[in-house]
Structure formats: structure tokens, C-alpha cells
Structure 1
């Protein structure tokens, strides 16, 4: 199946640990990931990694994407440098294309008015309240929340964040999604067998679709 790419917003002070579970899972099932910067100049993450964006924000169109991921960054709370990314999120949501925001990016969406009428979460309720947004009654005290095509999560919940992304894009569902979460969040070794069986079934289905033996389909 041909899928549109997943786009990851990158900017200086980008919290690079917040997307790893989500992006790894998406790549493993065939999604391409592309980074989007304010322009094409390299940025430096909070972890000191230097990232050169694949495309500039102005060139990103919702119709070319499966998902826009926005992570935390010091810049979300130190000025308006990242406001264009929140405005781009509005474009995506208006077009019905998913957006996933974690940590400080949720404050950016709050300032843009995108959380006023949607259930959401963040680091803590008063963090968003400081933005003077109007969605306080829609705040949910939980790890991660999906409302329509918007996912939000707090900074300590990259696994729950990934779970919601997988559910929204139907990467994993039901028992398999639950097993993935139990393995990576709870270190429940018994969940591995469920994931392994699901992967083998997917490889077999891919082999049958292409006329290849399952082991050959899994290698390609």
C-alpha cells in the first residue's frame, strides 16, 4: 500500500526523544518520514543533534501528508518563533489531516485556539491555562488524548503518544495495539508473543498478495 509521508516538525531546541517510539513504529510498517523546518537551514535539538530539514514549512501541504507531528521545544514558551507551526497545524486540522502534538507543542496549539473545542491533555492543566486559552474545561488528566484527528500528550508520555498515533492511523489495533503498549510502557514480556504473531501474519499476508513465500516477503 502506498502511503503519504509522515511529517515531523523540527526546530531549534526540538525535544528529540519525544517522537522515537511513534516514528520507529510508523517506519516499520512502511511510512516514510520527512522533517519540516522553518526553512532548509539545519537545526539543533535539545539532545545536541544537528538536523537538516527535508523541506521548509511554507512548502508543506496537508494533502501531501498522512500526519504532522509537533514536539516540545524551549522555543514554544520563549516567543512566537514557532507560531507558524501552530498555524500549519490549523491548516491540517481544517483539511481533516491528523496532527499529533506533545509537550510544549500543546501550548502552541492552545495559543492558536486549536484546543478550545477539543478534548486534550498536556504536561499539566495550569501550563496550558497560562496561555489564556478558552479550552480549560476540555482538559483531560491522562497520558494522551485523541479527539477527532488531533492527538495530544504530556512530555513524559512518548509511549502513550505513539499508541494514540498508531490507533489513529490504524497501524496497530485491538489486542495488538494493547500488546505493543504493554511491552514498551510496562515491560510486559508476555506481550511480545502477540506482537511477533501479528508480524508473522502480516508477512504471510504480504507474501500471499505478491505470490512470494512468507520468508521472502519479510526480507523485502
Structure 2
């Protein structure tokens, strides 16, 4: 079973997580035989956090309770509060995840925290545009590895800018290998374009007894 740790912090950007958490939690489009996935919210304390959309989240576990191995993934969403020193512990844990072969997936403001600790200095990555990490992460030295794309996957590191949530979700799902390739392609194209033919193509990739109307 994969364990997906979702770091939660005040001002979390709700929309950046929607595609990926919904699909991983529901499993509605999972291929037959795919490993089960367990999602756990994690934070630096047991206190509730309030998202940018005003939702309240009670963390499931603490940072030091996370297990880093090849069946673990840490998802770091964007937020306006990443500059707070209190998030240093989860970025240190992110480094442990990467070293252990576990996946780290960061989007928007979370990429500034990774950049500030040198975790993007030697690996292909992206963020909110060229120059963004220089502006918000003074210690950043990974400019030559920056890729100007909505989302970039480099083995067990997947980064995205604030407008790259859909592609980021696709790359995370692909990394976990829980969709058939044709299901993933049709799913992505439907949400990317809104064209009905991709919805019907998606339905055709699924078992007849799947409940996928939502």
C-alpha cells in the first residue's frame, strides 16, 4: 500500500490539491490490481489549520510520525505561509524522503521552501516562472535546472507552478502507477479541454461496473 502524506498548513491553496487527492482517495479510476492508497494529513502540530478557502483541517499525524520509504509520498501544497520557520521540519523530512527513494511532490509556494534548502539545486524542477525562486529563495542555486513548464517530473521529485495543478496530478498518478495508461490519458485530456469525446473515451477504459458518474 502507498502512504500519501499531505502536509497541511494555514492558507493552504485548496484548488492545487483537488485533482490529485480526489482521485487517489476515491480510487474511482484505478486500474484492476492497483495498489491501495492511504492518504494522511500531516502537520507540525495537532492544531487545526485553516485553508485559503476557509476549510478547517485536523491533521492525522505529525511530521516525526511519517515513514520514508519507496511506498511513501509527501505532497507539499502551496500556501502564503511557507516563509515561516515552523515549516523547516517538513522540508528537512522532504530531504529524507528524496534520499530514501520516496517521492516528494511540491507545488507553488512549497517549491520556494525546497529551493531555499538546496533541494532543487541539482535536479530538474519548476515553479511559478523564471525568476520566481530567485525572488523568494535567496539561497537558491538551481537556475540551470529550472524548466519553464507547468509541472516537471524528475524521478521521485515532482514540482509545479500554481497553474500546473492538473498536469502535476497527472504526473503524480503516473508515478504511482494506479491508472491504466489509456485511462490516465483520457482523464487528463477531458479535464484539460472539457471535450466530451474524452469523457466517453475515459468511460470506455473502465470496467462496466465502475461508478464514475460523479
Say yes or no: TM over 0.5: yes
Asked if structure 1 preserves the Cα contact closer than 8 Å seen for 2:70 and 2:102, the reply is no
The one-character-per-residue Cα deviations of 1:190-216 (angstroms, maximum 9, x if unpaired) are 11122212221xx7xxxxxxxxxxx4x
State which of 5, 8, 32 in structure 2 corresponds to 1:7.
5
Which residues of structure 2 form unaligned runs of 5+? 28-35
Asked if structure 2 preserves the Cα contact closer than 8 Å seen for 1:70 and 1:100, the reply is yes
Asked if structure 1 preserves the Cα contact closer than 8 Å seen for 2:160 and 2:168, the reply is yes
Q: CA deviation at 1:76?
A: 1.2
| Residues 1:84 and 2:82 are matched in the alignment | no
Higher relative contact order (CA 8 A, sep 6+): 2
Q: CA deviation at 1:63?
A: 3.2
Matched with 1:74 is: 80
Matched pairs, number: 201
**Who wins on radius of gyration, i.e. which is larger?**
1
Structure with greater proportional helix content: 1
Q: CA deviation at 1:65?
A: 5.1
Asked if structure 1 preserves the Cα contact closer than 8 Å seen for 2:19 and 2:165, the reply is yes
The one-character-per-residue Cα deviations of 1:129-156 (angstroms, maximum 9, x if unpaired) are 1213110011111110000101000011
Matched with 2:143 is: 136
Matched with 1:46 is: 52
Which residues of structure 1 form unaligned runs of 5+? 204-214
Distance in 2 between residues matched to 1:8 and 1:111, nearest whole Å: 20
Distance in 1 between residues matched to 2:180 and 2:63, nearest whole Å: 31
SS of equivalent to 1:13: coil
Matched with 1:206 is: none
Residues 64, 97 of structure 1: CA spacing in aligned structure 2 closer, same or farther, 3 A cutoff? closer
What TM-score do you get using the length of structure 2 for normalisation?
0.88
Matched with 1:17 is: 15
What TM-score do you get using the length of structure 1 for normalisation?
0.86
SS of equivalent to 1:120: coil
